Structure 1
Amino acid sequence: MTIEAIVAKYGLAALFAGAALEGEAAVVAGGVLAHQQYFPLWAAMIAAATGSFCADQAWFFAGQRMRDHRWVAAARARPAFARALAMLERHPVGFIFAFRFLYGFRTISPIAIGTTAVAPRLFAAVNAVSAISWGIIFCSIGYWFGHAFEALVGRLTQGPRLWWLVGGIVAAGLAAALIYRQRSRAR
């Protein structure tokens, strides 16, 4: 199976998962792939928005239904959790809309919001609008700057270079996650 066939077959599913698990980098990459015509830009935007929406809904319900679970308690102990609650108290709807755009708040915020009295319908409605906006913005960044990304990285579609690039990105992501995890445990 060629690289083009793999991307064509799993590209949008991978973009959905990347938006849910990783965030902006995966969605910008999805925009670049849409620019290279692996799939339509509108489909990339829908996959990104849906992945982000579903992940944040899951985190919200985890915070709401599993308040006493040890990993929610661990999240509560993080400084970002208290900051998220403080911002939520000051600007509830604005914060629900904006948290995915704020560095360091993407995963912790829906958990924190879930532990409060915010109604699930309100969270879902604002989360949907925010996820759609986020998907459109970050896919568009990748799409419109696709020429610059191609010039920087080279032709991504040429054989083994794509695998080296993907491998390097995965390795860098894993290294960053390990470093982050070690630093957060040291605190």
Structure 2
Amino acid sequence: MTIESLVAQFGLPAIFLGAGFEGETVAILAGVIAHAGTLELWQVMLAVGLGSFAADQIFFSCGRFFRETRFVRRVSAKPFFARALAEFEKRPVLFTFGFRFVYGFRTVSPIAIGTTRLPALRFLAINAAAATVWALVFVSAGYWFGHGIETIFGHLKTHHRLLVGVAVALVAVCALAVWTRLRWASGGSPP
């Protein structure tokens, strides 16, 4: 099995998972992969947007319905959690739209918002709009700066198989780490 066939078979699902749990790095790498011609730009943008949207919906649901789990209690003890709630109280809609663009708030914020009285349908609508804009911005950055990245890292087109392989492996490792943490946080055995 070649790298191209792996990317063709697992590239978009890997990008979906990576964008949801890792974020900007995967979104930018996905743009670079689209620039190299390995995957279509619109497919990459869709996978990144949906991955980010789905992860934030899951985290919001954790805050809303699973407040007493170890995972949510551990996250709510972090300093960013209290700060996220304070920022949310100042400007709920703006904060709900913009938290994914601020380093350190990406995972904590949807959980914190889930503990508030913001209606779930309103969060869903704001989250969908924000995930769309976020995907467009970061995938486009990777796509449009792909030529510059090629110049910096050499001729990417001749070595894009290696880059794609590394990106897929990185996303797989991130997804496994998140799955293990979530399992452990929900009461499963520690890794």
Which TM-score band applies after superposition, normalised by the shorter structure?
0.7 to 0.9
- Aligned ranges 1:109-128 → 2 under 5 Å: 109-128=109-128
Give runs of ≥4 in structure 1 deviating > 6 Å: none
Q: Aligned-residue CA RMSD in angstroms?
A: 2.3
Q: Which moved more, 1:36-45 or 1:98-107?
A: 36-45
Does the alignment pair 1:74 with 2:74?
A: yes
Deviations 1:10-33 (A, max 9, x none): 211111011011100101010011
Report the alpha carbon displacement of residue 152 of structure 1 after superposing the two structures with TM.
1.9
How does 1:20-169 map onto structure 2 within 5 Å? 20-156=20-156, 158=158, 162=162, 166=166
Q: Return the alpha-carbon distance in structure 1 between the equivalents of residues 29 and 110 of structure 2.
A: 24
Moved more, 83-92 or 11-20: 11-20
Shift in alpha-carbon separation, 1:20–1:129, aligned structure 2, 3 A: same
Structure 1 residue 161: Cα displacement: 7.5
Letter in 2 for 1:4: E
- Unpaired segments of 5 or more residues in structure 2? 178-191
How many residue pairs get matched? 172
Match of 2:9 in 1: 9
Distance of 2:141 and 2:163 partners within structure 1: 23
> Shift of the alpha carbon at 1:149?
1.2
User: Quick check: 2:35–2:146 contact (8 Å CA) kept in 1?
Assistant: yes
The alpha-carbon deviation at position 154 of structure 1 amounts to 2.7
- Cα distance in 1 for partners of 2:125, 2:160 equals 43
**CA positional deviation for 1:39:** 1.5
Aligned pair in 2 of structure 1 residues 128, 115: CA closer, same or farther (>3 Å)?
Answer: same
Tell me the percent identity.
49
- Displacement of 1:8 in angstroms is 2.1
Contact 2:3 2:164 in 1 (8 A): no
Distance 1:164 1:49, change over 3 A: closer
Structure-1-length-normalised TM-score: 0.84
Q: Deviations along 1:55-90, whole A, 9 cap, x unmatched?
A: 000000001001111221111111100000000000
Is contact 1:4-1:157 (8 Å) kept?
Answer: no
Q: Kindly indicate whether the alpha-carbon contact (under 8 Å) linking 1:57 and 1:110 is maintained by their aligned counterparts in 2.
A: yes
Q: Which runs of 5+ in 1 are unaligned?
A: 178-187
Please report the TM-score for the alignment, with normalisation by the length of structure 2.
Answer: 0.83
State how far apart, in whole Å, the 2-side matches of 1:53 and 1:132 are: 8
Q: Deviations along 1:117-169, whole A, 9 cap, x unmatched?
A: 110001000000000000011010000001111122234455697179828x8
